[in-house]
Structure 1
């Protein structure tokens, strides 16, 4: 066993709230049926901004890349193109106004009312402005329909928001409202007034990127997360544990060398086993990492007294199972001799439910971030 000295200087290395090691990852979203459907067309999106959204949706599909190569092949079923022996589908959907609210208010501001020349104000005065504040929420529900069978392979609802505020001396009352009893106005949806088209498009724009993450694999940065506190008191008292945790983000090689050393000294420590598994994950040895996470989960279950591993160990084991299954799917879909042939099935990834917070196949707390 090699003793590590001089670690105290590493205590200030931790700059991120979630300790661990970042690495380049290839992430597959949970809906594998959508991932496998690589020959696609875009149909109609009903609702406000539908034509605009369909155009942007098609641009997103055409520009989606993975490992530097296009993921989708655009088809035109209306032009008579029929895929031969391939899973293919058409995206269509619906857009709805969830909520639209508008309100008027007035304010007094100081403005120049008489100019002596360019940038030379002769006289300023208090002027009343009428202001309009608008808030909008929209929803869009794209669905992927399999060509030939009509089966819905993917359907999800996404929400987008937009706000606008403007003030003007020449503003007229009720611009976003309608007359109500007593001479007043009702605004927004209450007044039967539709939101401005520009606001609708602004609210819809960001949903395109969310959809992209749910229907195609992504190249991203992922974090192999360390367990920050050891369950067993002997390991917890060893100063190398905390120091190696803090060293991970800035000095991963040295940190992993410490975990290897501690694993030899504390072979039954779930935290040490887990953190060594994180090192193996960051190095790309996912089989070995999976085995180490499984070992850590078993050790945690033995110590907990409940027969079940504590959450960090259970979550890491489940996440690695999903990740490896996703990598196997990518390999099958990108084999050169298979071309655009689909893999059989289309079921969700095995292994139970996704840990809470996962949107793109990777838990939110495993994403890199400072």
Structure 2
């Protein structure tokens, strides 16, 4: 892919979908925009051809296979982000080097193995915790054992309030699962550690004898593992976050009735999820009311939603200048767009390595 093509692939993913939500401030809707963020660990994201060795610790080999699945499944705009060394090739080389299939190897050995299999980086690691603990407790219950008997005006007996309660305790269990792992990425060419982090998560469930049962150890461990894998995924590759963005509906500085109408109709389209029509109307309204901070801001949201973050930042700055005083929504937009501009170069490098 050439540099121009790479830049386009970086620019577009800032937004892949916008979804109107049913929250309103006055008449102005809010939209949700999916924005691509750079990996938390830049060097790890640049190491594209990788292999995952068996981890040490309880069920370490199985979890290493799960991480391998996470890495293999990462795709940005239908392009696979990482290339994994074939598992058969890796296992054969491990066997030839007489390495353990269930233990951690040192950095030097990992680098040597990586060179033999053609990998740029090797993941190793330790599963430090993989367990569940139960704690017992009681909860109080009450049940009525005698009700007042009452008569209506016709002499019919009916049940009144409770006049005798029985109080008792029930046995309950609180189950807590914890999963902790320390993955590490070794650069094959230098032996340098590019990524190392202690990841952990817990999952809890409670149940009593007279209600729903406590969740199984397997279910809770899997929940904790999923949380750890989500953190790992964000560490080593670009990922999407959803931003909720408010639109503005102020008529301030708009004298033209036609411009006011276009602002209003644009918000109505946005309210129905039709940002394409909304942005077109606001662009037309801006030609009639160039001093409207609301129109400038909304057009900034349009630019942000189509991935043109530089144009969005410029429009937000213009809106801020036209208003001439602090505004929470504009300040938030300026901060968000400034962050996205800074992230753009990282994203370009991370995506351009494919």
Q: Please identify which structure carries the higher helix content.
A: 2
2: CA distance, partners of 1:95 / 1:271: 53
State the match for 2:230 in structure 1: 209
Rounded Cα–Cα distance in structure 1 between residues aligned with 2:343 and 2:254: 29
1:361 maps to none
Aligned ranges 1:21-36 → 2 under 5 Å? 27-36=37-46
SS at 2:69 equivalent: helix
- 8 Å Cα contact 2:267/2:278 also seen in 1: yes
Aligned twin of 1:92: 125
* CA distance, structure 1, for counterparts of residue 297 and residue 30 of structure 2: 11
Output the CA distance in 2 between the equivalents of 1:48 and 1:248: 52
Gap runs ≥5 in structure 2: 1-18, 98-112, 143-168, 211-215
5+ unaligned residues in a row in structure 1: which ranges? 1-12, 110-127, 170-194, 335-370
Equivalent residue number for residue 276 of structure 1: 299
Q: Deviations over 1:241-260 (max 9, x none)?
A: 45533532522222112210
2:253 equivalent to 1:234: yes
Shift of 1:82: 0.8
Secondary structure of residue in 1 paired with 2:22: coil
1:259 to 247, 271, 282: 282
Aligned 8 A contact 1:90 1:146 in 2 = no
Q: 1:38 deviation in Å?
A: 1.3
Mapped pair 1:103 → 2:136: yes
User: CA 1:101–1:14 in 2, change beyond 3 Å: closer, same or farther?
Assistant: same
Rounded to whole Å, the distance in 2 between the matches of 1:20 and 1:314 is 17
**Kept after mapping to 1: 8 A contact 2:49/2:120:** yes
- Check the 8 A contact 2:262/2:284 in 1, yes or no: no
Give CA deviations for 1:205-227 in whole Å, capped at 9, x if unaligned: 33213322332235x68668354
Give a deviation string over 1:287-333, Cα, whole Å, max 9, x none. xx513422422541564458x99522322421431453355225522
| 3-state DSSP of counterpart to 1:16 | strand
Of 166, 169, 175 in structure 2, the residue corresponding to residue 134 of structure 1 is 175
Q: Does residue 325 of structure 1 match 2:345? A: yes
CA deviations on 1:188-235 (whole Å, 9 max, x unpaired) are xxxxxxx957643442233213322332235x68668354355x8335
Three-state SS of the structure 1 residue aligned to 2:290 is coil
Provide closer, same or farther for how the CA distance between residues 72 and 129 of structure 1 changes in structure 2, counting only shifts above 3 A.
same
- C-alpha deviations, 1:39-69, integer Å up to 9, x for none? 2222454554433322211222223333334
Q: CA distance change for structure 1 residues 168 and 257 in 2, over 3 Å: closer, same or farther?
A: closer
| Counterpart for residue 191 of structure 1 | none
Normalised by the length of structure 1, the TM-score is 0.57
Secondary structure at 1:256 match in 2 = helix
Identify the match of residue 245 of structure 1 among 267, 275, 283. Answer: 267
CA RMSD of aligned residues (A): 4.5
Alignment partner of 2:80 out of 64, 70, 83: 70
The answer to whether the 8 Å contact 1:91/1:144 transfers is yes
Q: Identify if the C-alpha distance between structure 1 residues 46 and 267 changes in structure 2 by more than 3 Å, giving closer, same or farther.
A: farther
**CA distance in 1 between partners of 2:128 and 2:304 (Å):** 41
1:313 aligns to 2:313 (yes or no): no
Matched residue SS, 1:300: helix
- Specify the alignment match of 1:357 in structure 2: none
Q: Distance in 2 between matches of 1:305 and 1:168?
A: 60
**Separation (CA, whole Å) in 2 of partners of 1:229 and 1:316:** 20
- CA contact 1:49–1:197 (8 Å) conserved in 2: no
Q: Is the 8 A contact 1:45 1:95 kept in 2?
A: no
Seen in structure 2, the aligned counterparts of structure 1 residues 66 and 91 have a Cα distance that, compared at 3 Å, is farther
Aligned residues between the structures: 275
Q: Secondary structure at the match of 1:277?
A: helix
